[in-house]
Amino acid sequence: MINEINAVTFRQNLGEMLNQVQYRHDSIVIKKDGKAVAALVDAPLFDRICRFKKRFDSLSQEITDAYANVPQEEGLNEIDAIVSDTRNS
């Protein structure tokens, strides 16, 4: 479950929030002035997020390297064609 809480309430109930995350595996979105500014998630989920980010960064770099010598306009045209084909499928 994902709960939202304002920063002041979060500070006042930190122990309870930690228990919610640790034992119930909830996630908490912390808001300040109505805007999400942080999230508290359990350690295994954070580890998964870090692994996904590392893999995403690696794949992004591979794509960047593969297209390093392709002119920007040609690359954008290729992307547009793939998106169009995918939407028409």
Amino acid at 32: K
pLDDT tens, position by position, for the chain (89 residues)?
A: 999 999 999 999 999 999 999 999 999 999 999 999 999 999 999 999 999 999 999 999 999 999 899 999 998 999 999 999 999 98
Q: Tell me the C-alpha distance between 6 and 89, whole Å.
A: 44
Structural tokens at position 86: 């995918």
Q: Tell me the C-alpha distance between 57 and 51, whole Å.
A: 10
Give the pLDDT score at 80: 94
> What is the CA 41 to chain-centroid distance, rounded?
12
Helix (H) or strand (E) holding 25: none
Alpha helices (H) in the chain, listed in sequence order: 7-12, 14-24, 43-66, 72-88
**Threshold 0.85, pTM exceeds:** no
